[in-house]
Amino acid sequence: MRIALLQVTTGPDKSENLANVSVGIRDAAANGATLIVTPEATSQGFDQGRLDTQAEELDGPFASGLRELAAELGVTIVAGMFRPADSVDGLNRVYNTALITGDGVHKGYDKIHTFDVADYTESATVKPGADLVTFVHEGAVVGVATCFDIRYPEQFKNLARLGAEVIVVPTSWADGKNKREQWRTLTVARALDTGVFIVAADQARPGGEAHAGQASGPTGIGHSVVVSPNGQRIVEAGYGPEIVYADIDIAAVAEARASLPLLQHAS
C-alpha cells in the first residue's frame, strides 16, 4: 500500500483550500499513492475565523469536491473538515470531522477528544464525537483518529481490537516548548501500544522552521509521520509544506502482534 501525507497550511476560505489541496492530491495520485491523508482543519484552518460559518454536511461542496476527486483518481482521501453540530450558550458548535471518501466509502469520524487544556477550550466551539470509525482500504482495516486523540491510548487500542491495522491521524498540532518532542513520542507510542501503522498528517508550521518552538496555537508544527508497528519512523516531514510517501506492508502488523500480543489483555 502506498500512502501519501499532504503537509499543508490551510487558510480561511473553504473553496480556496479545496482547490489548493486538490493539486497536492493529484500529485500524490500521480506518484502512485492510493491512500492520501491531509491534515485536521483542511477545509478551514484554525484561528482563521468562525468555524460554523463554513461548516457543512458530507454532501456539501468541500466534501463532495473531494468525493468527486477521489472517484476520478481511484484513490481514498482522508481530510479534516467541520460539520454543523449544536448551539450552546449562544455559540454554534461544529463537529471536527475527518472525512473518508473513495472506493465506495463516504463517511466521517467526529473527533472524540477535544483540545481542552489550560489556555484553550476546543469544546466551546466543537462538540465531541462519540463513535469509533474504521474503513477498509486494499483489504486492510483502517481506523481514524484526530490530533488530540493521540494522547488517549485506549482509543487506539480499541480501534485495533476492531481490526484496525493502520490508523490515520489528521492533525493540527500546536507548536510550543517541547511540543515537537511530544508529538514524535506520542506517534511512536501509539504504534507500539497497538501494533499498527500510525499515519499522521499535520498542518505545516506557519513561518516554517524559523518559528519552531514558539507557541503557535493549534495551527500546526509539521513533522507528518508514518510509524511502523515496531515503532520505526518510516518517513517524517520537516516543518514546511511538502508531500511525503510511505510504502507499507500490512503483514508487518501480524508479525508485531505475534511477537508482543498486547491486545489480548483486557483494557
Whether this model's pTM surpasses 0.85: yes
pLDDT, the chain, mean: 95
- Alpha-helical (H) ranges within the chain are 14-30, 61-73, 153-161, 179-194, 251-259
For residue 218, what is the domain's CATH number?
Answer: 3.60.110.10
Residue 248's domain comprises: 2-264
pLDDT at 137: 98
Beta partners for 201?
A: 170
- Name 79's bridge partners: 99
Structure letter (DSSP) for residue 110? E
Number of domains in the chain: 1
Active-site annotation, residues: 40, 111, 147
Express each pLDDT in 175-221 by its tens digit. 999 999 999 999 999 999 999 999 999 999 999 999 999 998 789 99
Mean pLDDT of 62-85: 98
Cβ-based neighbours of 81, under 8 Å, separated by 6 or more:
42, 43, 44, 56, 62, 63, 97, 98, 99, 108
Q: Does residue 265 surpass a pLDDT of 80?
A: no
Task: Report the length, in residues, of the chain.
Answer: 267
**Interval 12-54: pLDDT, tens:** 999 999 999 999 999 999 999 999 999 999 999 999 999 999 9
Would you give the distance in Å from CA 208 to the centre of its chain?
Answer: 20
Sign of CA dihedral 216, 170, 151, 49: positive
Contacts of 76 (CB under 8 A, 6+ apart): 34, 35, 36, 70, 100, 101, 102, 103, 105, 135, 137
Cell readout for 228 is 511502523
